[in-house]
Copies of this chain bind each other. A is one copy, B any other.
Amino acid sequence: MDIRVGLAQINPTVGSLATNAAKILDFYNQAVAAGCDVVAFPELSITGYPPEDLVLKDGFVSENQMVLAEILKAVGETVAVVGFVDSEKDTVKLYNAAAVCQNGKIIGVYRKHLLPNYDVFDEQRYFTPGVHNPLFTIKGACVGVTICEDIWSPSGPVSVQASLGAVLNLNINGSPFHAGKIGSRREMLGARARDGECVVAYVNQVGGQDELVFDGGSMVLTADGTLVANAAQFVEELLICDLALPKSKSVPAPQQSRGQIAEPLDGDAQIFAALVLGTRDYVQKNGFTDVVIGLSGGVDSALVATVATQALGSEHVHGVAMPSRYSSEGSISDAELLARNLGIDIQTISIEPAFSAYLNSLEPSFDGRKADLTEENLQSRVRGTTLMALSNKFGWMVLTTGNKSETAVGYFTMYGDSVGGYAVIKDLFKLKVYEICAYVNQQSSHDLIPQSIIQKAPSAELRPDQRDDQSLPPYELLDPILELYVEQDKTAREIIALGHDPDTVKRIARLVDMNEYKRRQGAPGVRISTKAFGKDRRLPITNKYSG
């Protein structure tokens, strides 16, 4: 029993029902032209994933169903599996569902059983779990359909459907990227295929949606767990795979299945690609073409500018150097060298006149008090205001450059260096920033990011001879503690028990906790870890716990 399966790894836009439908039809027609018997689209492909509270609007849910009805009209013999929001008549119940469509009709609907409600997911806020396991006959083969989370449970609907006779499971996903996920995903899919003795065809959305990046990486694994087709990550693609399926579970599957297998990306390449796609989609899906970045001559802004250039093209990226009385000569020349390497424009605007004006205006109020953090923050806020003025005047989105280490301990100025629409590297610890810079340079024929930027000691340059390590432990100590405290939810006590310096751990834990209010007013940015500062970490601001 030969069957040609298409996996349409598309990049929808949340809420854009009409353009999502057009994209679905475009890929459907490509699949028909390629002779596919069935083509599967990602989870909630009509609405884009995750639609969040949009599904609480009755009007939105009915429009998504009207759009599905429009799509149906164009569906012929080739089966289309399309993710949409289903509802139960005369109730408020909603379902995360897949419509199985053929010849202008919905031949069946599968409703997701397992609704993730952890990390970034809130599906139990919206949806009622499905309980049925409909099976479909496609070109003579018994086929099951499941949605995302459903396949992660060994005893879930995939195994139930297999036991009912399914020889192929089409699993449609909105599965966000995090570093290292693709390995565990492939391993899990292999296990599920072997457990159920069925082929697993996994299709995943691609694209950026606020903080999430969906990496695609759709794949097909045969009943023995062999990977026979694999789409590239981070790009739209119609993955086609020819499967040799048994007619029923009683006959062993012959080994004659094949599709294209994309070259896998290594770890740093995946992270860089996620940053690029997340940034491009956030900027462009929100109607911007150009971005502006404060270039300090440091490594964070250098990486952000590099990502932006890759995402948007060098002509759409604008650098600004904003020297103060404390800026080193190297800061400006390094920023200029970087801009030259990237082919982006750069202008220089001194923050001195506005800084001086503030100091004069505030002098009576400050009443002779000595300079402190106030004056450092003031300079940072003059920079932020300057970038926002350029943003307002020219319609450029400001990209902000804070990394996860700074964000964690609050080593940034609210309304200062934190201003901006998108925080590209907010989920990269400082040491990871260096690692990705090294990756970037290794990919280029030369040092795209100048060594002088990479080598210099990190500094905010807000007072004479300032260096980060005067305020913070060295990043080699800081980052591992932050990873335990923030990403692994260890308490300070537990981290100390692991052998870290007690005073350092307590101080860092306190800084992380007391700066929740600052993070809460920060820009969104690409999530690349299992616990970013976003929807996956919901800690109270008012919080006196110090464990």
A-to-B contact residues, CB < 8 Å? 13-17, 19, 50-54, 56-60, 63, 117-118, 122, 124-125, 208-210, 281-282, 285-286, 347, 349-351, 353-354, 356-358, 360-362, 364-366, 369, 372-374, 377-378, 381-382, 384-386, 388-390, 392-393, 414-415, 419, 421, 489-491, 493-494, 517, 520-524, 537-547
Q: Distance in Å from the Cβ of A379 to the closest Cβ of chain B?
A: 11
Q: Can you list 21 A-B contacts (CB < 8 A)?
A: A15-B546, A17-B545, A52-B539, A53-B489, A60-B491, A63-B547, A117-B122, A124-B124, A125-B538, A209-B540, A281-B542, A365-B390, A365-B393, A366-B393, A369-B393, A374-B389, A381-B385, A520-B524, A521-B521, A521-B522, A524-B541
How far apart sit A63 and B350, CA to CA, in the bound complex (Å)?
A: 52
A362: chain B residues within 8 A (beta carbon): 349, 386, 389-390, 393
How far apart sit A381 and B378, CA to CA, in the bound complex (Å)?
A: 12
How far apart sit A435 and B347, CA to CA, in the bound complex (Å)?
A: 50
Given contacts A365-B347, A369-B393, A520-B524, contact A14 B122 (CB under 8 A): no
Q: Looking across the interface, which residue of chain B has its beta carbon closest to that of A118?
A: B125
Whether B358 lies near A540 (C-beta < 8 A) is no
A58: chain B residues within 8 A (beta carbon): 489, 491
Whether A57 lies near B491 (C-beta < 8 A) is yes
Q: Looking across the interface, which residue of chain B has its beta carbon closest to that of A421?
A: B517
Whether B389 lies near A377 (C-beta < 8 A) is yes
How far apart sit A538 and B210, CA to CA, in the bound complex (Å)?
A: 12
Whether B369 lies near A358 (C-beta < 8 A) is no
How far apart sit A389 and B537, CA to CA, in the bound complex (Å)?
A: 30
How far apart sit A475 and B525, CA to CA, in the bound complex (Å)?
A: 35
Whether A542 lies near B489 (C-beta < 8 A) is no
A118: chain B residues within 8 A (beta carbon): 125
Choose one: B59, B372, B490, B493; the contact of A491 (CB below 8 Å): B59
Whether A54 lies near B353 (C-beta < 8 A) is no
How far apart sit A421 and B516, CA to CA, in the bound complex (Å)?
A: 11
Q: Distance in Å from the Cβ of A288 to the closest Cβ of chain B?
A: 11
In the complex, which of the residues A118, A349, A358, A541 has the most CB atoms of chain B within 10 Å of its own CB atom? A541
Q: Distance in Å from the Cβ of A490 to the closest Cβ of chain B?
A: 7
Choose one: B350, B489, B544; the contact of A57 (CB below 8 Å): B489
Whether B15 lies near A544 (C-beta < 8 A) is yes
Q: Distance in Å from the Cβ of A253 to the closest Cβ of chain B?
A: 37
Q: Looking across the interface, which residue of chain B has its beta carbon closest to that of A12?
A: B544
How far apart sit A59 and B492, CA to CA, in the bound complex (Å)?
A: 9
